[in-house]
Amino acid sequence: MIHTEELSCQIGAFRLDRVSIQIPANKYFVLLGPPGAGKSIFLECLCGLRTVDSGRIFLGQEDVTQTEPRLRGIGYVPQDYALFSHLTARDNVSFGLRVRRFPARQMTSRVQEVAQLLRIEHLLPRGIAGLSGGERQRLALARALVLEPPVLLLDEPVCALDEATRQEICAQLLRVQRQMQLTVVHVSHNLEEAFSVADHAAILHEGRLQQAGAMDELVRKPNSEFVARFVRAENILSGRVCTPPTEAPWTRVELSHAVLDVLGRHRGDIQFTIRPDQVLVLREGEHARHLQNHLELQLARWRDCGAYVRLELTGSIDLVAHITPAAFSEIRHCPRLTVVLPLQSIHVLS
């Protein structure tokens, strides 16, 4: 397990501010955040390329805060791969082995093994200049993996690749992580990328950790408006609790033009969210009037996104809903729609 305690690092006007994260061993961890959040700096602190101002870094039980990068046993692939253009692909892969003075025979077999794993045997005799983005990515990965590090840090590993190659590489990264039982920390600003690989994730913003946990938890239970917007919760609503505490397991909240119930007991002003795919959209009046949190709304706009249709609904409140194309074909000509916000799908932001 990788564990940071109150990690701080000042670079010019930017500050990585007291970041404490626990990254589970042998899991695929994605560090998310908008550009400039401090993700790459955090990664460089982990592998010892930046001196931290305060805080500690643990790899397993060992405090490695002051340990040199070469002694940390961490594989690192930077954003632009940084392949050594004065060496062939084979020499790039074997670089770490040569530095550590591995015997020639062992070096050859290790290079061959990792090349087979990443399916790059055909690239080994070539120079770096003519390689495509995907090939460079795989080669950089092979160079980091050849030393069999228990931890692999990937800084935006697929951001410069086209969509098809990105998906292919992400699948390969996940396969390699599972096969070698690595602890991977993958930096990205792309939520789809995180969905495709992550077991766990964390979100950084302006040098501060916003939330960390299982990927599903981040998406379903964001703890702040920033995280909710980052994970595209889209429906972020604000209101004021309008009933005194009762025995009921929910609280009634008054919005500007609507009243909704949310689970739990709350006071004062609250913010809550519901994911677009959790919003139920029905034809007006369709057996839903008895349900809690039903609203009469109109369809303002819609967009076919392939696997789902994105609806923008307007009325007493504005909402976004994602429904299947089949469901959309049934409601698309209805002038008014009944929209239900299931109580258990509403998440109150802390």
Partner 1 sequence: MGYALSRFEFRGRTIVDAIVDLPIVFPPLVAGLTLLVFFSQTAAGRWIQEDLGLEFVFQPKGIVLCQFLVGASFAIRSAKTAFDDVDCRYENVALTLGCTRWGSFRRVSLPLARNGILAGGILTWARAFGLFGPLMIFVGSFRGRTEVLSTTIFLEQSVGNLEVALAIALLLIFVALIALTTIRLVGGSTLVKL
- Phi, psi dihedrals of residue 202, rounded to the nearest 5°: -140, 155
Shortest distance in whole angstroms from residue 113 CB to partner 1: 17
Q: Which is nearer to partner 1, 73 or 315 (CB)?
A: 73
Using CB under 8 A, list all residues that contact partner 1: 44, 47-49, 68-70, 72, 74-76, 78-80, 82, 84-86, 95-96, 99-100, 143-144, 147
What minimum distance in Å lies between the beta carbon of 64 and partner 1? 13
Q: Which is nearer to partner 1, 83 or 194 (CB)?
A: 83
Which residues, other chains included, contact 60 with Cβ-Cβ below 8 Å and sequence gap of 6+? 1, 25
Closest Cα to residue 319, out of 299, 344, 290, 343? 299
Whose Cβ is closer to partner 1: residue 160's or residue 259's? 160
Taking the least distance from each CB to partner 1, the nearer of 61 and 85 is 85
CB of residue 56 to partner 1, shortest distance in Å: 20
- In this structure, the number of other CB atoms found within 10 A of the CB of residue 54 comes to 12
**What's at 58, amino acid-wise?**
F
For residues 13 and 21, what is the distance between their CA atoms, to the nearest angstrom?
23
Q: Work out how close the CB of 28 gets to partner 1 at its nearest, in angstroms, rounded to a whole number.
A: 20
Residue 127 near residue 100, CB atoms below 8 Å: no
Give, in order, the Cα–Cα distances in Å from 168 to each of 95, 105, 193. 26, 32, 11
C-beta closer to partner 1: residue 92 or 211:
92
Tell the smallest beta-carbon distance from residue 168 to partner 1 (Å): 23
**3 state DSSP class of 169:** helix
- Minimum distance, C-beta of residue 85 to partner 1, in the bound complex (Å): 7
DSSP bridge partners of 64: none
What tokens does 162 get?
């086209």
**Residues 338, 271 contacting (CB under 8 angstroms):** no
Nearer to partner 1, 51 or 238 (CB): 51
